[in-house]
Amino acid sequence: MDKTSLKILVTGVAGFIGFHMAHRALLEGVMVHGWDSINDYYDVQLKFDRLRKLGIEVDNPSDGDELRSTRFKNFFFTKVDVSDYDLVTELMFQHQFDVVIHFAAQAGVRYSLVNPRAYLKNNVDGFLGILEGARGSKVKHLLFSSSSSVYGLNSELPYSERDGVGHPKTIYAVTKRTNELMAHSYAHLYSLPVTGLRFFTVYGPWGRPDMAPILFANAILNQKPIDVFNYGNMVRDFTFITDVIDAIWQLIFCVPERAVNGENNVWDQSMSSAPYRILNIGNSNPIELKTFISEMEKVIGLTAKVNPVSFQSGDVQSTHADVGKLNGLLKDRIRTSLPKGLAEFIAWHKVYYN
């Protein structure tokens, strides 16, 4: 695909990863359309502020109205709820996107224990419209967000895409695995090239306020106690946002193809004779939660007040990404160290949250 003529759709563009993805694509000079429903799962002001960085100044856009950026002449924003099947398919047929990067979803692992219906509506029903629109408008490559949560009760580390994922712990994980299966069906039936992205604990500037990095930073800076689950005996494969975005940008041009021999490898859960692949997007350098907090203390210059609490239902104790497949596809892959990533994150946090 020729970068200069690309027309990309980024759904969930007011979200954490979607915002960064759109910004990178715009800096690369491609045309980007961004969709978001701007739901109130967390503070919508943060979502509007991300959109302002992309040149969208309207605080209360109407559904379906297309707004043009005042900063990037090649960026257009439309307020779209992806669970609105008719609107999604209509707009995708109208615009004929070359690439679709689908991040729109109901986020949050723990919230799925409280409101599971929101996940089925937004993550499953919403993805169907994207798949149908991509099929009908002959999208050249569909990339979508999955999650390391699909590994569920798997105990063998590092997590490999070849592992079975039949024992999810939450409805959130169920919906993400369902997306992977739906995508495979469309790849097989309609030769739709699809790449699923299993993200591992992404952090960085403009991050979600319900995730640990911002919760911890807020608590340390305001000298309030941090609830540390499983008494701190947790390990996460923290992955800096720019590393994630750089990998996705390269993957846009690495389009999966249908296998020549038409045979499936039954031992590899991530591959298929269809033009379909699943990839871990992680740092492959798991960090203990205690170490993460300690490094954040060094960057901030204050000591955390830690409140150890018991293991929370739906959580996993450790995550660790096997990124051999990803590294094999990318020519050059950046990996930001934890001290450097935290320094950038805290610098942004202090400015944004004053």
Q: Pick the closest to residue 329 from 264, 295, 286, 279 (CA basis).
A: 279
Three-state secondary structure of 99-164:
EEEECCCCCCCHHHHCCHHHHHHHHHHHHHHHHHHHHHCCCCEEEEEEEHHHHCCCCCCCECCCCC
Residue 93's CB: how many other CB atoms inside 10 A?
12
User: Could you tell me the CA-to-CA distances from 110 to 38, 106, 124, 221, 241 in Å, in that order?
Assistant: 20, 11, 18, 25, 22
Residue 193's CB: how many other CB atoms inside 10 A?
21
Q: How far is CA 196 from the centre of its chain?
A: 10
In 3-state terms the chain splits into helix, strand, coil percentages (rounded to 5) of: 40, 20, 40
Residue 27's CB: how many other CB atoms inside 10 A?
10
Q: Tell me, what amino acid is at 319? A: T
Token pair belonging to 311: 């293991």
Catalytic residue among 42, 172, 186, 276: 172
Q: Pick the closest to residue 275 from 292, 255, 294, 248 (CA basis).
A: 255
Q: ∠170-35-179 over CA atoms, to 5°?
A: 30
Q: How far apart are CA 119 and CA 155, in angstroms?
A: 25
Q: Tell me, what amino acid is at 58? A: V
- DSSP conformation class of 61: P
Tell me, yes or no, if 172 is annotated catalytic: yes
Concatenate the DSSP letters of all residues of 150-211 into one string: GGTT--SSSB-TTS-----SSHHHHHHHHHHHHHHHHHHHH---EEEEEE--EE-TT--TTS
Q: How far apart are CA 3 and CA 30, in angstroms?
A: 7
Supply the residues annotated as catalytic: 172
